[in-house]
Amino acid sequence: MNDANDTRNRLLNGWQLSKMHTFEMAARHESFALAAEALSISPSAVSHRINLLEEELGFALFVRSHRKVELTQEGKRVYWTLKSSLDSLNQEILDIKNQALSGTLTVYSRPSIAQCWLVPMLGDFTRRYPSIDLTILTGNDYPNMQRTGIDLALYFDDTPPTQQSHHFLMDEAILPVCSPEYAQQHALMTHPNNLRHCTLLHDRQAWSNDSGTDEWFSWARHFEVNLPPSSGIGFDRSDLAIIAAMNHVGVAMGRKRLVQKRLDRGELIAPFGDKMQECHQHYYISTLSGRQWPKIDAFIDWLKCQAG
């Protein structure tokens, strides 16, 4: 029994890794015969190596039938993890060889940061670094950067994720914003207590999955303003609240960095003037520890330049 447990709990070593090449070929072709042809060995040798690997790992990788082989669910998990690791390794080798500002760069961002701040400026980056191919991904989660191939992530929060390197990007402040028409309709100019008759628009995931109306109530406490009993309309993205405000739906709690251009264009106004509260959250950049590639450093430097 102990020997069986030892086998089942054994981690990969060099011997299993050498068999992984055979497994990768067989999984890719879904055929021991085609894998044997690619490896210039016999199909029986492929089968023998796979049998040994399955015995050492403690679970089946393939379901064998008379005419074909198919990956088990466990085999599929191992194959896709192996494929992802090989892709990352190949990219790493290319970057080591090039040591230049070229190749792919995958950036993950909170949707509102991407929509309102990052994406409108990307033309400047591509003009400066035409050999870097950018991919922009968005979401409200904290993805596993190693597993998902993300090189760099942008967040707005006060608690950076652990086991990553962090770079401060910029501070933020919040202030109510709405359309000029909505402000006039509800007599808001310099009269914040008239908010009690308004619809509040807010990002329910401002800095975590349960931020709720925290931004509004933090601002109201700071300036001693009475808010309506209803929590208004919640969104999972700050930019959606801003779009609703631009369309006269209500008053949004805006982040100055993200709404400044719309304030400058007159699409939004800040009806209460200088009643702006500094956030204890800030924008920061996360990277994998130890990954100091020229293209990542170039993007970080460019972001800091744009942040002023």
pLDDT of 74 above 90: yes
Residue type present at position 16 = Q
Q: How confident is the model at residue 9, as a pLDDT? A: 52
- CB neighbour burial string for 61-91, b if at least 16 within 10 angstroms, e if fewer: bbeeeeeebebeeebeebbeebeeeeeeeee
In this structure, of 29-38, 232-241, 287-296, the range with the lowest mean pLDDT score is 287-296
Token digits for 18?
């050498």
Mean pLDDT on 290-295: 79
CATH number for the segment(s) 172-279: 3.40.190.10
Greater pLDDT, 192 or 231: 192
Tokens in use for 294? 């020229």
Residue 258 to residue 5: CA distance in whole angstroms: 56
Q: What would the mean pLDDT of 6-14 be, rounded to a whole number?
A: 56
- Burial (Cβ within 10 Å: 0-12, 13-18, ≥19) of residue 280: exposed
Are 254 and 242 in contact, with CB atoms under 8 Å apart?
Answer: yes
**7 SS3 class:** helix
The listed CATH number (1.10.10.10, 3.40.50.360, 3.90.180.10, 1.20.1070.10) that belongs to domain 2-81: 1.10.10.10
Task: Give the confidence band of 144 by pLDDT, cuts at 50, 70, 90.
Answer: confident
Closest to 258 (Cα-Cα) out of 113, 109, 59, 133? 113
144 by DSSP, 3-state: which?
coil
Identify each DSSP E strand in the chain by its residue range. Answer: 62-64, 69-71, 103-109, 132-138, 152-157, 165-177, 200-203, 233-235, 251-255, 277-287
Domain ranges in the chain with CATH number 3.40.190.10 = 97-170+282-307, 172-279
Mean pLDDT is lowest, of 140-144, 237-241, 299-303, for 140-144
pLDDT of the residue at 98: 55
Arithmetic mean of pLDDT, 194-209: 86
Query: Start-end ranges of CATH 1.10.10.10 in the chain?
Result: 2-81
Fold adopted by 97-170+282-307: D-Maltodextrin-Binding Protein; domain 2 (3.40.190)
CB 31 within 8 A of CB 69: yes
